[in-house]
Amino acid sequence: MRQRVQPHAVTPLASISANPLLGIWLRLSGVAAFAAMMALLKFGMSHGAAMSDVLFYRNAFAIPVILLWVWQLGGISVVRTPRVKAHMLRGGLGFMVMCCTFAALDLLPLAQATAIGFLAPIFATLMAAFLLKEAVRPIQGAALLVGFAGILTIVQPSAATAQGLGLVIALIAAFGTAGVSLLLREIGKVESAITTVFWFTIFSTAVTTIPYFLWRSPLSDLALSALILSGILGGAAQICITASLRYAPLALLSPFDYGQILWAAAWAYLLFSQPITSAMLWGAALIIVSGAISFHLGKIAALRPCAEPKLPPSHGV
């Protein structure tokens, strides 16, 4: 029997089903699927796939998986929304972030591009301070410095010239992801997660269809298979990460997101023979520490009566 979800309803914390082991398993599965998706996209790009190919396959082949999710939750009525403008704004911003993320993925080693993406929670803290006038404590500023130290450790100064463009694009993507997270915080007050995921995927597929047919590249069977599988895994990752919040609180689940850096390092070694260096491990550790500090402070703020609810990190790409 399909489970029916009330349209536009936002699941309150009190309705979480207490099954932390299932929540952790779903979160770990989503993180692993997301890391594999990124590795397959980079594999496709290294075998001749153009950006138009990557964007189209990532979104188009996520749709069947997400439609199955929608059907399981009660059908198309679950994702009906009167807030078209809000979803178009989220779709436009999210699509630009996706383009930057994939461009950085093409220019940087896989593990480095992944690690830099985890600066987004820190950027979100700064944006909340400037745009939403939220107070920033000195320890949050220290966390930002630790995160940037992690970047400098991963991207060695001697390689900064060769990887400079990729680094800049990766930082723009992380900053954009922070903006998406703030927008999702507002949308999440009145819309369910499945509605946001569904319409973002539809929007991105629509935007990428015409460029794909105009500029698609001839691909080998291996590269084509990698791109198709990346779309399926991307849809599955979004479902697992979102569904995990039904069984365990975000405070318990978020630390497992950093496992994506380890998965990225493993995929980089297996698919691209990119070595796992000590600088990469130390830099990733610094970024994890800075992100953990930011999240811990956010969790404390969320427990205050006047604080706005915190949403999970964006896995929108």
Kindly give the interhelix angle for 259-272 and 278-302, rounded to the nearest 10 degrees: 150
% of the chain residues with pLDDT over 70: 83
Does 2 reside within a domain? no
Q: For residue 308, is it within any domain?
A: no
Asked whether residue 315 is domain-assigned, the answer is: no
pLDDT bucket at 152, cuts 50 / 70 / 90: confident
Measured CA to CA, the distance from residue 311 to residue 296 in angstroms comes to 13
Reply yes or no on whether the pLDDT at 281 is more than 70: yes
Domain that holds residue 36: 13-302
Whether residue 157 is predicted with pLDDT greater than 70 in this model: the reply is no
Residue 86 lies in a domain: yes
pLDDT digits 0-9 by tens, 77-126: 999 999 889 999 999 999 999 999 999 999 999 988 998 888 887 788 77
Count of CB atoms within 10 A of residue 93's CB?
17
Please check whether residue 75 lies inside any domain of the structure.
yes
Number of independent structural domains in the chain? 1
Crossing angle for the helix pair 84-107 and 20-46, nearest 10 degrees?
60
pLDDT tens digits, 2-37: 545 444 444 444 445 678 889 889 999 999 999 999
pLDDT tens-place string over residues 33-55: 999 999 999 999 999 999 999 99
pLDDT tens sequence across 168-207: 899 999 999 999 988 888 888 888 888 999 999 999 999 9
> CB under 8 Å to 21, separation ≥6 — which residues?
none
DSSP 170-232: HHHHHHHHHHHHHHHHHHTTTS-HHHHHHHHHHHHHHHHHHHHHHH-----HHHHHHHHHHHH
Q: Provide, rounded to the nearest whole percent, the portion of the chain with pLDDT above 90.
A: 44
Question: What does the H/E/C string look like for 14-58?
Answer: HHCCCCHHHHHHHHHHHHHHHHHHHHHHHHHHHCCCCHHHHHHHH
The pTM assigned to this predicted structure is 0.83
Average pLDDT, the chain: 83
DSSP string covering 219-268: --HHHHHHHHHHHHHHHHHHHHHHHHTTTS-HHHHGGGGGHHHHHHHHHH
- Is residue 60 a part of any domain in this protein? yes
- 64 assigned to some structural domain: yes
Place of tokens 């790009």: 45
For residue 39, is it within any domain? yes
Please give the pLDDT value at position 299.
57
Q: Is a pLDDT exceeding 80 seen at residue 252?
A: no
Check if the beta carbon of residue 59 is closer than 8 Å to that of residue 232.
no
